[in-house]
Amino acid sequence: MNIDFKKRVIEACRKAIGLRIERAHQAMLASQESANNEDKSSAGDKYETARAMGQADRDMNARQLQEALNEQKILDAIRVDELFSVVGPGALVELDATWFFVAIGLGPLSVDGVTVIVLSASSPLYQQLRLKKKGDEVIFRNKPSRITALY
């Protein structure tokens, strides 16, 4: 594992967040269109309820879109062209044969056949890993685990 691998990891993150952005945007547009196209029937309450539900859906999708856009900004700010001596955002960490990339909360991604768990800087595991060095121990899955690699 090296800087080139980290670059492929962040590209996989960008692709995943790009898909999340696209899905949220499409869902938001579909919800808005549904709310706008609700036919006014003789039962006015039914119309208003359907429109309100469509608007609530649109608002939820808009929030998800904004969250994904914010995550994309975080990714854009991460520098992967440097090696780390302590764990911080942008670090690639091996913890007892499990790879982690500190960025945003995406969960597991497969990169070059290797599973990398992408975790946010607000996650409990990162709070334990923060500022640790290669060889340091943390509690992971209720047992002591050693940082075996750090890039």
Average pLDDT over residues 100-107: 96
Query: pLDDT tens across 109-147, in order?
Result: 999 999 999 999 999 999 999 999 999 999 988 999 999
What residues does each domain of the chain span? 3-77, 92-150
The pLDDT value given to residue 2: 82
* Cα distance between residue 87 and residue 11, in whole Å: 20
Average pLDDT over residues 31-54: 64
The pLDDT value given to residue 62: 87
**pLDDT-based confidence at 40, cuts 50/70/90?**
low
User: In 14-130, which ranges are E strands?
Assistant: 92-95, 98-103, 107-111, 114-120
Lay out the sheet containing 143-150: strands in order across.
107-111, 114-120, 98-103, 92-95, 143-150, 137-140
Q: Is 2 within 8 Å of 151 (Cβ atoms)?
A: yes
Query: pLDDT tens across 66-82, in order?
Result: 999 999 999 999 988 88
The pLDDT value given to residue 138: 94
